[in-house]
Amino acid sequence: MTQAIRDKGKLVTVAGTGINLALGVLYTWSIFKGAIRQSIEGGGAGAFNWDIASLNDPYAVCCLVFACSMIVAGKCQDTFGPRLTAIVGGLLVGAGFIWISQSTAYLSWVLGFGVLVGMGIAFGYSSATPPALKWFPPNKSGRIAGIVVSGFGLASVYIAPLAQYLLGAWGLSQTMLFFGIAFMVVVSLFSLLLVNPPAGFTPKGFVDRRRSGDAHRQARTAIIDEDLSPGQILSTAVFWRVWFLYFIGAGAGLMVIGSVAGMAKSSMGANAFYAVAILAVGNAAGRIVAGIMADKIGRSHTLAGVFAMQALMMFGAVGIIGAASPSAILLVALATVIGFNYGANLALFPTFAKDLWGMKHFGINYGILFTAWGIGGFVMSKVSQMLRASTGSYANSFIAAGVMLMLGVGLILFMADEKDKKRRQIARELAALGSKT
C-alpha cells in the first residue's frame, strides 16, 4: 500500500506537469500577435483590422481573467477536487480557441482568447499544483511546485515551433482550431490522473515540527503552520506585501514574454520564434531551480536574488534592444535569463502561500494572491505596447520595470528581517517557558 501511495504521488505530479504543458500556450502569444500584425499590414479580404496599439489586448485580458478566475477555480478545487476542476479548464480553453478560429474581429478575440481561454487556464492551473503538494512532505514543497509549474513555462518549447509551422501551412484560423481541439483532449485526459491523498495520509519523510523540543523549530511552526481563511489573510499586512511583490515580479516578466518575438524579429527575422522557445527553457528552469533553492536557503533570500538579477536584466535590455542591429545571441541570452527569473516567481509564491497560510484553504488563498500576477501582466503588458506604439521603443518599459524590481528587493529584505525578529522573539518565549516547567 505504501508503494502504491508513493507511486500515485509521482503520477499526480506528472499529470499536473502535463496539464501545464498544454496550458502554457499563453506564453506563445507573441507568435500569434505577429501573425495578426502581418495580416493587418497586408490587408485584403478577411484580414484583421485592429489598431496596432491594441495588439496585446487579448493577451493582457487573458492574464487578468486568468488571475481573477483563480479565486473561483481555487474554491472549486478545494470543494470538488482537482479532477473536475481540470476538466472544466480543458473545455473552456478548447472552446476559446475554437471561437477565435472562426473570427478576425477584435471583440471576438478579446472574449475568446482573453476571457474563455483565461478562465480555462485558471481552472486547469489551479488544479495541477495542490494535489501534487499534498503527496509530499513540506521540505519538498518548493521542488514539487517547481516541477509542476515548470510545464507551464516549458510549453513554448514545443508550441512556438509548432505554431510557426502550422501558421505557414494552414494559416491562423486553422491553427487556432487545431490547438482548441488538441488542448481540450489533452487536458481532459491528464485530469483523470489527478487525485488527492486519502484522509490521514502522512507523506514519507514528514517530520512533525510541533513535536520537536527545539524552541526555534517551534517558533517557525508558530509562524507558518497555520490554516488561515481568505478573510483572515486579507486583513494582514504581509498578504498585501506579498501581493505587491508578485505584481512586480510577474508584470516585469509578462511584459517581455508578450513581446519577445517582436523584439527578436529585427535580428532573427522568420526565426524569431526560437527566442520564444529558448525563453521558455529559461522559464521552466527558473521554476525548478528556484524551488530547490527555496527549500535549501529559504523563500525570501531566493526571491531577493531573483528580483535583483531581473532588475539588472531589465536595465541591460535597454542597450541591447535599442541597438541599431541587435545581436541575436545577446537577445536570446537576455530572454533566457529574464524567463528564468520570471519562472522563479511561479515556483516561489505558491510556497509562500502554503507556508504563510496553510493547505486547508490553499486553492482559494493562492487564487486571491494570484490576482497580482494577472493585474501585473495586464498593466505592464498594456503599458509596454502603448509605449512601443507611441515611441517606437521598449526602453521606458524596461527602465520602469527595473526600478520597480529594485524597490521589490528592499521590501523582501524588510519582510525577511521582520519575520526573523518575530521568530527569535517566539523562540525566546518558548525557551523561557520550557525553563520554568
Average pLDDT over residues 236-258: 86
The pLDDT assigned to 212 comes to 47
Average pLDDT over residues 161-168: 91
The yes-or-no verdict on residue 428 having pLDDT over 60 is: no
Chain centre distance of CA 90 = 18
The pLDDT assigned to 418 comes to 54
pLDDT band at 178 (very low <50, low <70, confident <90, very high): very high
End-to-end CA distance of the chain: 42
Greater model confidence, 426 or 377: 377
The pLDDT assigned to 266 comes to 58
Which among 423, 435, 23 is positioned nearest to 222, based on CA atoms? 423
Write out pLDDT tens, residues 8-61.
888 999 999 999 999 988 878 888 988 999 999 888 878 899 988 888 899 889
Average pLDDT over residues 165-173: 93
Lowest mean pLDDT among 216-230, 316-330, 368-382: 216-230
C-alpha–C-alpha distance, residues 114 and 107, integer Å: 10
Q: Which grid cell is 365?
A: 488563498
Which among 126, 128, 181, 133 is positioned nearest to 364, based on CA atoms? 126
Lowest mean pLDDT among 83-87, 165-169, 425-429: 425-429
Percent of the chain with pLDDT over 90: 33
The pLDDT assigned to 210 comes to 46
Average pLDDT over residues 350-371: 86
Chain centre distance of CA 287 = 9
Give the count of alpha carbons within 13 A of 390, CB side only: 8
pLDDT band at 423 (very low <50, low <70, confident <90, very high): low
What's the whole-number average pLDDT of the chain?
82
Which among 141, 287, 300 is positioned nearest to 206, based on CA atoms? 141
The pLDDT assigned to 157 comes to 82
C-alpha–C-alpha distance, residues 274 and 294, integer Å: 30
The yes-or-no verdict on residue 205 having pLDDT over 70 is: no
Average pLDDT over residues 212-227: 50
The pLDDT assigned to 282 comes to 83
Going along the chain from its start, the domains and CATH numbers come out as 2-196+214-436 (1.20.1250.20)
The yes-or-no verdict on residue 217 having pLDDT over 50 is: no
Write out pLDDT tens, residues 313-338.
888 888 777 666 767 778 778 878 88
Q: What are φ and ψ of residue 199, in 5° steps?
A: -60, 135
pLDDT band at 229 (very low <50, low <70, confident <90, very high): confident
